[in-house]
Amino acid sequence: MKNCELIVAPKADDSWILRLDRNGEEFCRVELSRKRMRIGRSRMTIGGVAGLYTPPDRRMEGHARGLMEASHDFLQRQGCSVALLNAIPDFYQRFGYGVVFPVYRLFVKTDRLLKTCRPLHVRRARKKDEPALVRRYNQCNRYRSGTLVRPADWRFNNLVNYGRPPGSLLLVEDKRQRVAGYALCRTRSDRYFVQELNGHTSAAFESLANAIGTRARRAGFERVHFKLPIDHPFGEFCKRFGSEWEIQHHVDAEGMGRILDLPRFLSALRPELAYRLGKSEWSENACLWFITELDAAGLKIAGNAVRCIRKRKTGSRDIALPQTALLQLALGYRTVSDVANEKDVRIPGLARPLLEVLFPPSPAMMPMVVE
Ligand SMILES: CC(C)(COP(=O)(O)OP(=O)(O)OC[C@H]1O[C@@H](n2cnc3c(N)ncnc32)[C@H](O)[C@@H]1OP(=O)(O)O)[C@@H](O)C(=O)NCCC(=O)NCCS
């Protein structure tokens, strides 16, 4: 980092390459993006970090550390509350990241998928279908934590062409030729892989299952791997065929994240927290004061109303915990009682029932931060 210049090059809308450069020589680079991610009914601006790279002859000189620190400052200035990345093992914890998403895999045998019929028409998606596909994606995921909000002009093309060989985007139409669902499929060396699937009726799921089974058989694979969270309705639908789930909880690897701006993070969570309070029996007014290694900020709860506070109020319930533990709670990755057992966490008994209402466990999957 010493004597290096930081160069910020915009790549596309809301994405940038940051480089450390000395006299035209690149010492380190990283790709950053800004996205909107859902946590239930809340929407949060997040920063995606990908492709961190130091050339071999410049490694172990502190360049990646310097660039990661500069990236966090940059993303915070871009309004991001949280940073997320798909991590190589045992590296990013030193930059404040913790594992915040499990890896879910659903497997279904190809011959079982072929026991379905195809009540609706399935075809390859065309360019003109893209706006309707984006609408279907956002509609199916409107309250799903860990999904990105895709703007109306977002295009599936990037996702289809991300990785080799390119994927195929299958579309299922209802009787009135509207998009009822879709699946993004690709052949991998060892499996047939469905990277994304959404649909809003069981006829759409059945038609997609049949079309996917047909393609997997043609490609010579005995089973299909679906990338879906464990509570996804297609997973429920597949129970009838016999299905198998694999869930991995990694140590310092895969879906990792950290908070960048605590008050902004708490503030963005408010709609979902208010919704959870509204569904619960909770009626007491209370203030929670979160003390993390980054910063301290609080939540004032009055009925279903939630406010973020910057100054501690007398009578607040003080909760001391690492920022990663708070992010794990917010994403439903860990339970309050599990977090409370950590040695660097202090949760007063009086605060626990309220925290359990605000932060129930829930399945969420790491979004594609470079999509
Ligand atoms: C990983 C990589 C970016 C590290 O770059 P670097 O400039 O050598 O890293 P730094 O010198 O800033 O090291 C920062 C810290 O990470 C540690 N570290 C460096 N490379 C590491 C690695 N591959 N695994 C684990 N720890 C590593 C260093 O010991 C140092 O620790 P410390 O600050 O606690 O003493 C570089 O090895 C690389 O480009 N690898 C190939 C691409 C890659 O895997 N990128 C990650 C994509 S998710």
pTM of the model: 0.96
- Looking at 195, 224, 248, the residue that finishes a domain is 248
Number of independent structural domains in the chain: 3
Residue 165: pLDDT band (50, 70, 90) is: confident
Residue 351 has φ and ψ, to the nearest 5°, of -85, -20
Residue 366 forms part of a structural domain: no
Q: What is the pLDDT of residue 370?
A: 80
Residue 53 forms part of a structural domain: yes
CA of 91 to the centre of ligand 1 (A): 7
- In this structure, the answer to whether residues 320 and 224 fall within a common structural domain is no
Here the CATH number for the domain that contains residue 350 is: 3.30.1050.10
CA of 1 to the centre of ligand 1 (A): 13
CA of 195 to the centre of ligand 1 (A): 29
- In this structure, the answer to whether residues 96 and 108 fall within a common structural domain is no
Residue 51 has φ and ψ, to the nearest 5°, of 65, 35
CA of 59 to the centre of ligand 1 (A): 7
Residue closest via CA to ligand 1's atom 26 equals 91
Whether residue 229 is preceded by a cis peptide bond, meaning omega within 30 degrees of 0, is no
Here the CATH number for the domain that contains residue 192 is: 3.40.630.30
Q: Which atom of ligand 1 is nearest to the CA of 60?
A: 11
CA of 313 to the centre of ligand 1 (A): 42
Residue 304: pLDDT band (50, 70, 90) is: confident
- In this structure, the answer to whether residues 96 and 110 fall within a common structural domain is no
- In this structure, the answer to whether residues 277 and 300 fall within a common structural domain is yes
Neighbours of 105 (CB within 10 A): 16
CA of 252 to the centre of ligand 1 (A): 14
- Say whether pLDDT at 230 is over 70: yes
- In this structure, the answer to whether residues 65 and 121 fall within a common structural domain is no
Q: Which residues contact 68 (CB under 8 A, 6 or more apart)?
A: 30, 49, 52, 95
- In this structure, the answer to whether residues 231 and 134 fall within a common structural domain is yes
Q: What is the pLDDT of residue 1?
A: 65
What number is the average pLDDT over the span 130-155?
A: 97
Residue 62 forms part of a structural domain: yes
CA of 16 to the centre of ligand 1 (A): 21
Residue 288 forms part of a structural domain: yes
Residue 307 forms part of a structural domain: yes
CA of 181 to the centre of ligand 1 (A): 41
For residues 145 and 364, the answer to whether their CB atoms sit within 8 Å is yes
Residue closest via CA to ligand 1's atom 8 equals 59
Q: Which atom of ligand 1 is nearest to the CA of 86?
A: 48
What number is the average pLDDT over the span 154-173?
A: 91
- Say whether pLDDT at 371 is over 80: no
Residue 175 forms part of a structural domain: yes
Find the domain containing 328 and state its range. 261-358
- In this structure, the answer to whether residues 27 and 157 fall within a common structural domain is no
Residue closest via CA to ligand 1's atom 4 equals 64
Least confident span in 157-161, 254-258, 322-326, 357-361: 157-161
Residues forming a β-bridge with 50: 31
- In this structure, the answer to whether residues 116 and 148 fall within a common structural domain is yes
Spatial strand order in the sheet of 82-87 = 5-12, 15-22, 25-39, 42-53, 82-87, 254-259, 98-99
For residues 264 and 327, the answer to whether their CB atoms sit within 8 Å is no
Residue 3: pLDDT band (50, 70, 90) is: confident
Residue 291: pLDDT band (50, 70, 90) is: very high
Q: What is the pLDDT of residues 5-18, one digit of tens each?
A: 999 999 988 999 99
- In this structure, the answer to whether residues 19 and 149 fall within a common structural domain is no
- In this structure, the answer to whether residues 138 and 217 fall within a common structural domain is yes
- Looking at 228, 257, 286, the residue that finishes a domain is 257
Residue 348 forms part of a structural domain: yes
Residue closest via CA to ligand 1's atom 34 equals 94
Residues with CB under 6 A from ligand 1: 28, 52-54, 59-65, 87-88, 90-91, 94
Q: What is the pLDDT of residues 33-76, one digit of tens each?
A: 999 999 999 999 999 999 999 999 999 999 999 999 999 999 99
Residue 363 forms part of a structural domain: no
- In this structure, the answer to whether residues 85 and 123 fall within a common structural domain is no
- Looking at 257, 275, 291, the residue that finishes a domain is 257
Residue closest via CA to ligand 1's atom 43 equals 53
Q: Which atom of ligand 1 is nearest to the CA of 90?
A: 25
What number is the average pLDDT over the span 321-344?
A: 97
What number is the average pLDDT over the span 108-122?
A: 96
Residue 97: pLDDT band (50, 70, 90) is: very high
- In this structure, the answer to whether residues 139 and 164 fall within a common structural domain is yes
